[in-house]
A and B are shown apart, each in its own frame.
Chain A
Amino acid sequence: MSAIDRRKPVSLKVASTVFIVVWLLLAAFPFFWTLWGSFKVELDFFSIADWTNAITGKLTDEIYGRPFTGAGYYGAWVQEDFWRAALNTGIVCLFVVCTSLTIGTLGGYALSRSGHNYVFWLLIAALIFRAMPPITLVSGYLPPFFAWNLWGYLPTAIIVLVAINQPFTLWMLHSFFQKIPIDLDESAKVDGCTQFQAFRHVIIPVMWPGVITTGLFSFLLAYNDFAVTAMLLNEQNRTMVPKIAAFLGTTYTEGNVMFAVAAVVSATVPLFLLVMLFQRQIVSGLTAGAVKG
């Protein structure tokens, strides 16, 4: 690599560096801008008079005596009960990840170890299901959920998200399990294990890298979902994303926009940490499907 670098013309090097800097600005600047602005009053964040107010916080200083205020956060978390939405998101994500990994691992393992023809058709069916926009399924859920009084509760949303998650989980775990040599469980079976025992004692100890990567994506799906959670949860059980959308709908009045800004920043923080901790797994997960195809 260094041999190539040395021969690189200066102009190309400059152009590529400039490009990277511009891209980083595009990718990261909006987040830092919003983080900074979330500690200001609305008239600073949306500054009509002078855009530098958003940086210096002039009007915030006039009202609160210092250029930062936690008023938006107080309003969102305490006044508008955003903590409840955060708690709901936590519950939904935890159960979605655990359930979908449990049943997905069993299914993905079975798919990777069976050589029969129907495996192909099951994978194709999963691919078709993966392509369905979740919102198109919602009008199929509503009548039975209303009829049986299931609408609005967290477990309902959890199980729907688990199911929507399965096709992707199956594809991902199927390709991870294919990389684990089949000799491992074959030799366990020769030693007298049943298929399940082979899975339990031989495969489970070595499957964690793949399972953790898949779990990350299940988490992201549950955390980021808007269409399903917005339609299937009642006001009290709302998760963070529909709650933020509700802020927009009802409180586009003076001052309350900052509640939404604070809530948006609060909801971004866990994702930030997630990427920071699991960058390697996310990259490998994104490329797993691609390199195969």
Chain B
Amino acid sequence: MKHRTFFWFFLPTALAMLIFIAAPIVSVVLQSLFVPHEAVLIETENCGPFGCTTSVVIDQEATEELRAEQPLGRFAGLEIYFDRGHLATAEVASAWTTSSSIGEFLGAVGDLPFYRAMSFTLTYTFVVTPLLIALGFVIALAVNALSRRIKGLVIFFSLLPMIVTPLIGSLILFWMIDSRGVIGELIQYLTGDPSLSLKASTPLMWIALIVYGVWHSAPFAFVVFYAGLQTVPQDTLESARIDGATRWQQTRYVVIPHLMPLVTFVALIQLMDNFRVFEPIVGFNASAHATSLSWIIFNDLGGETNQLSAAATTSVLTIIGVAILLSPVLVRTWRDFRGKA
């Protein structure tokens, strides 16, 4: 295809991505480096018959002028990155010097909003991903052994948790796990503790969110692995069987190696997707126990005061996190490309 033709074919989609993805990224980075202007204050002295009083008033004109002159705000450099709401370097340093043990230090750092969100986001990402891969793999094996007639029905129901809107799915689960819901009551009954409640317990809330994450994403792993199982080389299986391999050995040494590329694929996709965990925190009303980076951005943007600079800074930090998770994918794609060329 000629360059010219390619250009015209590709122009609309390129424009859409440039204006609404690339430009906002640049703008977010810029916003994170500036803070809004403070109002210009002037001191005026009012002198009357009983002496003079000074009062401080906002100089509207000068403020407007300053804002018009530098619409981005005051250049703050990396100041916002290191403030208490983000990397909080000063607080971390003081926690380091004042705390007597590592545990105390981690506790102090864990109270800072950014590190609190980070600890949940990372725990969620790295616990949910392996679990959903394992669950998806077992479901795929079990469904593969079913007779053709009921397969369709089983796949239909298996897809539901993934297709359904994350916020809606998490609400549906939350209402059941709630202390007044059916599963919540069952747990209270089983543990014999009628006061047990999701809303009051941080570990329970984390477990519930992780269960939701696995429930939501396992179908994706299942579908991918199920498709992979259809292409397992039957000859290899046959010869393994003739050599006397047990069912477990066949799975371990033939099926799993065959599916390994798919496992990597699912793992990489899910690591990126789980890192942006957000909707379940809103659905579970969990922000008192667990927050994520995405949730902090949403919270900063949605409040009464649009804290754009704070949100932009967290956005940049999130993008850096995603970039770190994405780098293996990029390296892989690059190698594939080199290999082909």
List the interface of chain A (C-beta within 8 A of B): 5, 8-9, 12-13, 16, 19-20, 23-24, 26-28, 30-31, 33-34, 37, 45-48, 51, 54, 102-104, 106-107, 109-111, 113-116, 120, 122-129, 131-133, 135-144, 159-160, 162-164, 166-167, 170, 195-196, 220, 223-224, 226-227, 230-231, 241, 244-245, 248, 260-261, 264, 267-268, 271-272, 274-276, 279, 282-283, 286-287, 289-291, 293
Q: Which chain B residues border A275 with CB–CB below 8 Å? A: 156, 159-160, 163
Residues on B with C-beta less than 8 A from A5 are 145
User: Are A137 and B25 closer than 8 Å at their CB atoms?
Assistant: yes
Knowing A107-B10, A140-B25, A286-B224 are in contact, say whether A27-B158 is a contact too (CB < 8 A): yes
Q: Which residue of B lies closest to A165 (CB)?
A: B16
Identity of the chain B residue whose Cβ is nearest the Cβ of A126 in the assembled complex: B17
Q: Indicate if the CB atoms of B160 and A54 lie closer than 8 Å.
A: no
A-facing residues in B267-303 (Cβ within 8 Å): 272, 275-276, 278-279, 282, 285, 294, 297-298, 300-302
Interface status of B14 (Cβ within 8 A of chain A): yes
Judge whether A290 and B266 touch: CB under 8 Å. Answer: yes
Give the CA-CA distance A206 to B1 in the complex, in Å: 20
Contact of B138 among A19, A51, A104, A163 (CB under 8 A): A19
Asked whether, in the complex, the Cβ of A167 is within 8 Å of the Cβ of B12, the reply is no
A162 interface neighbour in B16, B23, B276, B326, Cβ under 8 Å: B16
Residue of B nearest to A50 (CB): B185
Instruction: Specify the chain B residue showing the minimal Cβ separation from A290.
Output: B224
Q: Which B residues lie within 8 Å of A195 (CB)?
A: 1-2, 5, 9
Q: Is B42 an interface residue (CB 8 A)?
A: no
Cβ–Cβ < 8 Å partners of B279 in chain A: 226
Residues of B within 8 A of A287 (CB): 223-224, 227
Q: Residue B198 at the A interface, CB < 8 A?
A: no
Contacting A at CB under 8 A, from B254-271, are 261-262, 265-266
Complex alpha-carbon distance, A223 and B316, angstroms = 27
User: Does the CB pair A27–B157 fall under 8 Å?
Assistant: yes
30 pairs of residues in contact across A and B, judged by CB atoms under 8 Å: A20-B154, A27-B157, A27-B160, A47-B180, A48-B180, A107-B12, A114-B1, A116-B6, A123-B333, A125-B17, A133-B275, A133-B318, A136-B25, A136-B294, A136-B316, A136-B318, A138-B311, A143-B308, A166-B21, A195-B9, A196-B9, A226-B282, A230-B298, A268-B165, A268-B168, A274-B163, A286-B220, A287-B227, A290-B228, A291-B231
Q: Assess the B276–A133 pair: CB atoms within 8 A.
A: yes
In whole angstroms, what is the CA distance A163 to B22 when docked? 10
Residue A133 contacts which of B227, B261, B322 (CB distance < 8 angstroms)?
B322
CA gap between A125 and B31 in the complex, in Å = 23
Tell me the B residues contacting A by CB distance below 8 Å. 1-3, 5-6, 9-10, 12-14, 16-17, 19-28, 31, 138-139, 141-143, 145-146, 152, 154-161, 163-168, 171-173, 175-176, 178, 180-182, 185-186, 215, 219-220, 223-224, 227-228, 231, 247, 261-262, 265-266, 272, 275-276, 278-279, 282, 285, 294, 297-298, 300-302, 306, 308, 311-312, 315-316, 318-319, 322-323, 325-326, 329-330, 333-334, 337
Closest residue to A23 on the B side, CB-wise? Answer: B139
Q: B312 contacts which of A9, A47, A140, A226 (Cβ < 8 Å)?
A: A140
Pairwise interchain contact B27-A166, C-beta atoms closer than 8 A:
no
Nearest CB of B to A133, in Å = 4
Whether B227 lies near A293 (C-beta < 8 A) is no
Q: Which of B168, B272, B306 sits near A241, CB closer than 8 Å?
A: B168
Q: Which residues of A contact B325 (CB under 8 A)?
A: 131
Please indicate the chain B residues that have their CB under 8 angstroms from the CB of A268 in the complex: 164-165, 168, 172
- By a CB distance below 8 angstroms, the chain A residues around B326 are 127-128, 131
A133 CA to B159 CA, complexed, in Å: 23
Q: Find out whether the CB atom of B23 lies under 8 angstroms from the CB atom of A140.
A: yes
**Whole-angstrom CA separation of A53 from B143 in the bound complex:** 35
Measured in the bound complex, the distance between the Cα atoms of B215 and A195 in whole Å is 46
| Complex interface: chain A residues within 8 A of B333 (CB) | 123-124, 127
Q: Which residue of A lies closest to B309 (CB)?
A: A139
Within 8 Å by CB of A16, from B17, B142, B171, lies: B142
A27-B157, A107-B13 known; A163-B20 Cβ under 8 A: yes
Question: In whole angstroms, how far apart are the Cα atoms of A196 and B180 in the complex?
Answer: 61
* Contact A27/B24 with A51-B182, A272-B160 known, Cβ cut-off 8 Å: no
